[in-house]
Structure 1
């Protein structure tokens, strides 16, 4: 995190309230606490599940120091020298962040698969411009997601630097604007100019308003838009303003007795440490939870205004604590990319000891950065004494980082298939019209024949090595299919309410088929849409992201709270189906709930899941609908396009074994639960897996567009098979 500079001690005279500006060893030690907490959290040190609050501590420190600096200048001169202010910040912060950023981008280009490297390089460019926090907001990046298949961006921690730099950008003009209003009011009252800065009250009121509004926005967005609440300046400004209010009210803190200050300091440090140990990635944050570390840091800083070397200040001021505090900024920059790249370098996940070692290595890199980059540029008199040279230094550092990112993009190879063209996957299946008088044996024969055609294609592709040059969709286009599962609103997002009328096919048909579930229902839409058009069905698509249609209490790791929108949506959908029962309900859900990285309050295939499946199918059957439950697609164990981009000559490296990709016992239990409730169950495993392996390319068709969703092309290719299964389901009475 970006620290602010301290300056020599001064005392305002002529009745002005003083703002302490002497070097504060206790604050340097508090930086050590903050950075150790963050590093421990990222290194998954046991007992530090809330270590991410170290960033909140940094925000309070920055608010205190920067506000104090600005007040000292505006109270003595009535203005702020913006060039000097921004020049000092640029000289202090930008060279180090640009250096680490360039090295991180270069490592990404070398170590990461091409598709992932390209995305990370974009992250690096946005980070160099200090707006990566809004890139993460736009992409809905979950800071706390633990992804077994894909490492988080090595620039994820730069979000807080973006908040800091944006804070610097607006804070100085905020003070200038307040000073202008003060002068305007004084002139209106015809008061002497010398009284223009005799009170801090207008600035206190301004910061209090900022804090109140920001805190309100933070609370509101934490529940409905967690990414925006976590990453953005408007939701974090109250923490910076809290530090600023301590700076502006410093004279009140200085009146504390030594014992009172010591007690307050220890209380503040205790609150901060409690947040580090009691919070976890599931704690809704920032919201009200952020009060704990924020107030804790404010109490420590405020207590130090009266007795910086007493109480916890004595601990924080120890040479060892101050040494860590001095490298805190560079350590923060280095620790995350080192932890991300270390497993890639050694070729396996890191154990606890190795993660600690990686964190210590990053501390060594931080010391080198401080010794050879930060301090030489920060204290070089030719640069330090010239605001324009300082700004130029920051501009050059930023330009180098941005240009490096753009240049490295040119070096990342395009992930184009180099293998021989493969034939498209074409499946044909007979259609036996409903009411034809054919027995179920005839329908089962059609299903068996359709499955056999796919199985032959899957078996022929199981040993595929070179990615076909005719791959559909091309790897570079696969990521674009991520948005397609939302079906123009027919699959509701985590934040949307209600559900529109989503009918396709022959909307006037008397045969209605409803597709319901989560995104794993939506991914079957291309197949069912094709069938609905061919067979003149009315197809209703009713899906919601991360929301199984089963009547289970759901916790959402995206919202980081109980998924109440899911509960309401399910009730509404069941009521809608009850009012106008479709001929057939096709039900499909993801089976990754409760897995690592997706806490949900239950686990797919457990007793609660199976009982709920039985109840749901029974409820739909009682409503008069036939029910077809589609079994799961295999888990590819990787983000398939990214994996293939790094293994263009060996696609089998991305094809998981059938044993690891398929939960056979879970599928059997689901089939039994469905059949017991009067529904039909389709085990789809053989549409994706050969006897030992589940290829991720069948023919020339990419099977998955991400880590668990089927591609539009493969869904569409399987339409005849799904049609045969639907015919069989409708044939049952």
Structure 2
């Protein structure tokens, strides 16, 4: 698609494939449990994209107006597909044989998803099915209420991007350290550690926002070494997703899984800023993978409903048949959602995601 950055879409594709590994594959096979790492990848990438667009858009409007404009664009971009999920899911529950939740319960939980509240119940260990996947969207929305105000204020006051990056990095470290003593469920499903991940992406965006100068060269390494490191990052995340044996609330997640996902994603993003070629970027920019990444938001929203309703213990069909039905339904719902409810509201922000360029705020769709 014109105006997209293919390697970033490729990273999105890897993230959603990891999530599918955890929610689909690990349901039937003893592999893919590490796929929960995909959410961490999404958070880092989201911080980079959102911060790049906000910082590099040049607007003379007051901070409050810029903030309201940002939130309006976020709602316009994300809510059509989310509200469709909220409406369709209770109907699907009512029609599905042997559903574990009533249509009324599904409708109530859908309203909670619509106001970005599912993360609270999930963090308390309560189910929000069939909307359990929306918890991560809610975490992002809470940051949207804080981060743009801080960023627009800093930019209006003339704070250099790299100075703001240092303060953001310090904040990320403090938040992550504060999250480490938490229980596995709270660490995974509440804002502190997740905000830290998003801020890592934001730090990368700020660090490359200003062009290099003789006294601050800020050159990102290029060549065979960094290309090999990018391949290693891809391989390490893939190996973790496929082979990690522990539940997402286990201690190794905070000490190994999250740092691995954040470091690998951060390097792949930074590598794509500096390089225009190399095997890792060619793979991430591969057409089918990039296309999957473009539809990753819709796929993330819709992938859980068919799997949840086509439960192998409630429906007397062979597991392979249920799997094919689930994949087929998810593919159809995702395609319709992307084409009808996402794509019409997607704008080009490719210029904002490349160093040394500015993007015009009035026409930007975040």
Q: Assess same fold via TM > 0.5.
A: yes
Distance in 2 (CA, whole Å) between partners of 1:253 and 1:117 is 55
Listed one character per residue, the Cα deviations across residues 370-403 of structure 1 (whole Å, up to 9, x for unaligned) are 1122123446xxxxx999xx9xxxxxxxxxxxxx
Distance in 2 (CA, whole Å) between partners of 1:200 and 1:156 is 36
- The correspondence of residues 584-733 of structure 1 with structure 2, limited to 5 A, is none
- The correspondence of residues 91-110 of structure 1 with structure 2, limited to 5 A, is 91-110=76-95
* 1:116 Cα deviation from its structure 2 partner: 4.5
Matched, 1:332 2:300: yes
Matched, 1:27 2:8: yes
Q: CA RMSD in A?
A: 3.1
TM-score (norm 1): 0.42
Closer/same/farther in 2, CA of residues 260 and 115 from structure 1, 3 Å limit: closer
* 1:92 Cα deviation from its structure 2 partner: 1.1
Report the counterpart of residue 136 of structure 2 in structure 1. Answer: 160
| Higher RCO (CA < 8 A, seq sep 6+) | 2
Distance in 1 (CA, whole Å) between partners of 2:2 and 2:323 is 37
Q: Give the counterpart of 2:119 among 108, 114, 133.
A: 133
Secondary structure of the residue that 2:25 maps to in structure 1? coil
- The correspondence of residues 470-549 of structure 1 with structure 2, limited to 5 A, is none
Closer/same/farther in 2, CA of residues 36 and 356 from structure 1, 3 Å limit: farther
Closer/same/farther in 2, CA of residues 114 and 59 from structure 1, 3 Å limit: closer
Report the counterpart of residue 260 of structure 1 in structure 2. Answer: 225
Matched, 1:90 2:57: no
Closer/same/farther in 2, CA of residues 115 and 273 from structure 1, 3 Å limit: closer
- The correspondence of residues 93-492 of structure 1 with structure 2, limited to 5 A, is 93-111=78-96, 116-138=102-124, 140-141=125-126, 153-179=129-155, 183=157, 196-197=158-159, 199-221=160-182, 225-250=183-208, 255-282=220-247, 283-284=250-251, 286-289=253-256, 290-343=258-311, 347-348=315-316, 351-352=319-320, 354-378=322-346
* 1:177 Cα deviation from its structure 2 partner: 3.9
Secondary structure of the residue that 1:154 maps to in structure 2? coil
Closer/same/farther in 2, CA of residues 77 and 335 from structure 1, 3 Å limit: same
Report the counterpart of residue 593 of structure 1 in structure 2. Answer: none
Closer/same/farther in 2, CA of residues 322 and 233 from structure 1, 3 Å limit: same
Report the counterpart of residue 72 of structure 1 in structure 2. Answer: 56
Distance in 1 (CA, whole Å) between partners of 2:62 and 2:236 is 38
Distance in 1 (CA, whole Å) between partners of 2:252 and 2:88 is 31
Is the 1:29–1:321 Cα contact (8 Å) retained in structure 2? Answer: yes
Distance in 2 (CA, whole Å) between partners of 1:125 and 1:311 is 44
Is the 2:81–2:342 Cα contact (8 Å) retained in structure 1? Answer: yes
Between 23-32 and 58-67, the greater mean CA deviation after superposition? 23-32
Q: Which has the higher strand share?
A: 1
Larger radius of gyration: 1
Matched, 1:51 2:35: yes
Distance in 1 (CA, whole Å) between partners of 2:265 and 2:284 is 12
Segments of structure 2 that go 5 or more residues without pairing to the other structure are 348-359
* 1:127 Cα deviation from its structure 2 partner: 0.6
Distance in 2 (CA, whole Å) between partners of 1:253 and 1:51 is 34
Segments of structure 1 that go 5 or more residues without pairing to the other structure are 1-5, 9-22, 143-151, 184-195, 380-384, 391-733
* 1:85 Cα deviation from its structure 2 partner: 1.4
Distance in 2 (CA, whole Å) between partners of 1:72 and 1:272 is 30
Matched, 1:42 2:23: yes
Distance in 2 (CA, whole Å) between partners of 1:69 and 1:141 is 36
TM-score (norm 2): 0.82
Closer/same/farther in 2, CA of residues 310 and 357 from structure 1, 3 Å limit: farther
Distance in 2 (CA, whole Å) between partners of 1:211 and 1:7 is 34
Secondary structure of the residue that 1:153 maps to in structure 2? coil
